[in-house]
Amino acid sequence: MPAARSQANGCVRAISRTAGSAGWLLAFRANSRPDRIVENARANRPLFARAIAEHEALMLESGAARYLRRNGWIKLYRSEAAFEALRPDLELAREFGVPNEPLDAAGARKLEPSLNPVFKRAVFWPHVVSLSNPLAVTKAYAARFAALGGVTLKGDARSLHRSGQGWRVDTEQGPLDTSEVVVALGPWAPDVLEPLGLKLPMQFKRGYHRHFKTETSAPLSRPVVDVAAVTSLRRWSRAFAHHRRRIRGAGCGSHAGAVRPS
């Protein structure tokens, strides 16, 4: 009984949260129409097109270039229908100068021999890069920032307020005054921006993932996404090979509210 009650309470909480974000979800749905996706992709492209070159320069400078894997990624499709539905996306990607190579199961297994051939088709995206160790890259960037004279202070960003012609934020080392501020709080950005009258259409999407050890005899050398499983909540949907001996399975996401950072 206690377990059943707690599940029921969980459902009520989930429903009330969903009701709270219904407007956002409807807008999200409207923006997920094929024509809007293309429009958004065109708007994002200039930014995304610079991302790899900018990070590569930073990685070289920070001594982290060894974590950059330039061997692309593979998406797997378990049915011909799922693959056929993808054709407009492949054409749009080519228009943006993002090459992709449709493969059959044998072609994909030439790239990743450990894949179990439970899929019918695959697409290899050769220019996609990935990181073998994202945490090491973040630490290398932080060390480089400090080496260049960057200073890190801790404080609650919600204390940001106007002060004269500039801005002031409270830190554990005292107040800090500055003329410009970059708000990089991820989904918590509205905490700071809304009191300043700036409304961002942002919502929390909580993701779930798990790490699995792989057999030494069956490694993956690049990220592999099993697209068919994305629609199934019971199966782990994606396998990202962050490390040679570890697979990260990332599954569903939920609009389940925020967890406040400590």
Ligand X SMILES: Cc1cc2nc3c(=O)[nH]c(=O)nc-3n(C[C@H](O)[C@H](O)[C@H](O)COP(=O)(O)OP(=O)(O)OC[C@H]3O[C@@H](n4cnc5c(N)ncnc54)[C@H](O)[C@@H]3O)c2cc1C
Catalog residues that contact ligand X under the rule CB under 6 A: 156-158, 184-186, 188, 191, 207, 209, 240, 250, 261
Question: Are the C-beta atoms of 124 and 108 separated by less than 8 Å?
Answer: yes
CB 240 to ligand X: min, Å: 6
CB 257 to ligand X: min, Å: 13
Q: Closest CB to ligand X belongs to which residue?
A: 186
Q: Cβ–Cβ contacts within 10 Å for residue 193, how many?
A: 16
Half-sphere exposure of 130 (CA within 13 A, CB side): 18
CB 198 to ligand X: min, Å: 15
CB 189 to ligand X: min, Å: 8
CB 202 to ligand X: min, Å: 10
- Give the nearer residue to ligand X in terms of CB position, either 87 or 205: 205
Determine the number of helices (DSSP H) and then strands (DSSP E) in the chain: 8, 12
- Give the nearer residue to ligand X in terms of CB position, either 33 or 127: 127
Backbone torsion region of residue 205, taken as left when φ is above 0, otherwise alpha when ψ lies between -120 and 50, otherwise beta? beta
Q: Cβ–Cβ contacts within 10 Å for residue 243, how many?
A: 15
- Give the nearer residue to ligand X in terms of CB position, either 149 or 261: 261
- Give the nearer residue to ligand X in terms of CB position, either 174 or 207: 207
Question: Are the C-beta atoms of 249 and 217 separated by less than 8 Å?
Answer: no
Based on the number of CB atoms within 10 Å of its own CB, is 190 exposed (0-12), middle (13-18) or buried (19 or more)?
middle
- Give the nearer residue to ligand X in terms of CB position, either 109 or 204: 204
